[in-house]
Amino acid sequence: MRSPMPHGVSRIAVAALAVLLPASVMAQKYPTKPIRIVVGFAAGGSTDLVARTASSKLHAALGQPVIVENRPGAGGNIAAEFVAQAPADGHVLLVTPSAFAVNPSLYRRAPYDAIKDFAPFTGLTSYMLFRVCHPSLPVRSVKQLIALAKSRPGHLNYSSAGTGTTTHISGELLSHMVQVKMTHVPFRGTGQQLPALLSGEVALAFGSTTVVPLIQAGKVVLLGVTGAKRFPDFPDAPTIAETVPGYEVTSWNAMFSPANTPPAITKRISEELRKGFGQPDARAIFERQGLEVTTGTPEELGALVAEETAKWATVIKAARIPLQ
């Protein structure tokens, strides 16, 4: 005959069950109200596009309104801090680019921990960046750009979608690797970054896939791409690594919620987004922007964030990028 469970162990088991039951019940009833997807950049950029596609797919799958809320500023930190402090019930979500994993090492007082303060849901999309310039700049290749930058230290300026974004860090990494100085001009999202380039307010930019139509229209000049391979739509444009060996940057967008969100909710959302982003209409939207769908599991996203956080911490320190 089995011995009765010790009284102390029984109390621990009951307490653990009492903690787990509310989360389980919450997950079964989820969602109980409209869901907010918070984006740390202004409308008009690739992250905003991805968030709005996610909003549409989740609304169709869950039957609740899913609202995109733009909270731009501080390279996405404002939005990330807001979501980190929200209730962990799956009704406030964060869609963010890979600046999310960069900022904790770039800011002296980062308002969040990318690993401890969030529950990863799923990757969404990934993309290479495009080194572009205003047509008036007298360069047509990365090699010519480097030569011009060396002849005019600090004179050339380049825009980014915000401090800590890959459109910023990509420029800092290139400057470090070729030993030149260029001036960084941050904006609050792609929607503000690109008009500054088009008007000639800044000479250069590392742009996301939102610059593809501008390149095709001849409004900006493509000097090179940051991926390991050439971009299919521009096969004549070299990778930057063809001029600067070892240079490679790939950006991504992903979804998170506050830490301690019930695993059943993170699993459900990630599964619904895998289904939704696999549908032909969503793939067509992303293909037009040069975005690759990268949906996966919460565990895969968690591993990516840990890897990227460590990588960019090393780059920022080695390149002596000034802390914000």
Q: What is the pLDDT of residues 11-61, one digit of tens each?
A: 555 444 444 445 455 567 899 999 999 999 888 888 999 999 999 999 999
Assess contact for 135 and 220: CB atoms under 8 A.
yes
The CATH number assigned to the domain with range 31-127+250-318 reads 3.40.190.150
Quote the CA–CA distance of 86 and 317 in Å, as a whole number: 32
Residue 320 pLDDT: 77
Structure-model confidence comparison of residues 192 and 92, the more confident one = 92
Q: Alpha-carbon distance 164 to 221, whole Å?
A: 24
What is the predicted pLDDT for the residue at 290? Answer: 81
How many percent of the chain have pLDDT more than 70? Answer: 91
CA distance 169 to 163: 8
- Does residue 239 contact residue 230 with C-beta atoms inside 8 Å? yes
HSE, CB side, 13 Å, CA atoms: give it for residue 171.
Answer: 30
Tens digits of residue pLDDT in 116-164: 999 999 999 999 999 999 999 999 999 999 999 999 999 999 999 888 7
For residue 31, cis peptide bond before it (omega within 30 degrees of 0): yes
Sheet of 92-97, strands arranged across: 66-70, 35-39, 92-97, 250-258, 118-128, 292-293
| pLDDT at position 96 over 60 | yes
> What letter would DSSP give residue 155?
T
- Cα distances (angstroms) measured from residue 226 to each of 68, 170, 174, 211, 260: 29, 8, 10, 14, 36
Residues 173 and 320 sit within 8 Å (Cβ to Cβ): no
Residue 224 contacts residue 142 (beta carbons within 8 Å): yes
For residue 24, what pLDDT is reported? 53
> Residue 2: its pLDDT value, please?
44
Rounded distance between C-alpha atoms, residue 207 and residue 25, angstroms = 44
Range with lowest mean pLDDT among 91-95, 149-153, 241-245, 315-319? 315-319
Does the pLDDT of residue 88 top 90, yes or no?
A: yes
Query: Three-state secondary structure along 15-82?
Result: HHHHHHHHHHHHHHHCCCCCEEEEECCCCCCHHHHHHHHHHHHHHHHHCCCEEEEECCCHHHHHHHHH
- What local confidence, expressed as pLDDT, does residue 18 receive? 46
Cα-atom radius of gyration of the chain, to the nearest Å?
22
Residue 108: per-residue pLDDT: 87
DSSP state of 116: T
Mean pLDDT estimate for the chain:
89
Length of the chain: 324
Task: Parse the chain into domains and list their residue ranges.
Answer: 31-127+250-318, 130-242
Residues forming beta bridges with residue 118, ordered by sequence position: 258
CATH 3.40.190.10, domain 130-242, yes or no: yes
Q: Which pLDDT belongs to residue 137?
A: 97
**DSSP state, 191?**
H
179 pLDDT above the threshold of 50: yes
Please state at what angle helix 99-106 crosses helix 77-84, rounded to 10 degrees.
Answer: 100
Residue 10: band (very low, low, confident or very high) from pLDDT cuts 50, 70, 90: low
Taking CA atoms, 308 is separated from 30, 43, 74, 250, in Å, by 31, 25, 19, 11
Does 112 have pLDDT greater than 50? Answer: yes
The H-assigned helical ranges of the chain are 7-29, 46-62, 77-84, 99-106, 142-151, 166-178, 190-199, 212-216, 263-277, 280-288, 298-318
pLDDT surpassing 90 at residue 240: yes
Which of the pair, 299 or 19, is modelled with greater confidence?
Answer: 299
pLDDT digits (tens, 9 = 90+) for 201-231: 999 999 888 898 999 999 999 999 999 899 9
Same fold, 31-127+250-318 and 130-242: yes
pLDDT in tens, 35-46: 999 999 888 888
Q: Please give the DSSP secondary-structure letter assigned to residue 294.
A: -
Query: Between 322 and 317, where is the model more confident?
Result: 317
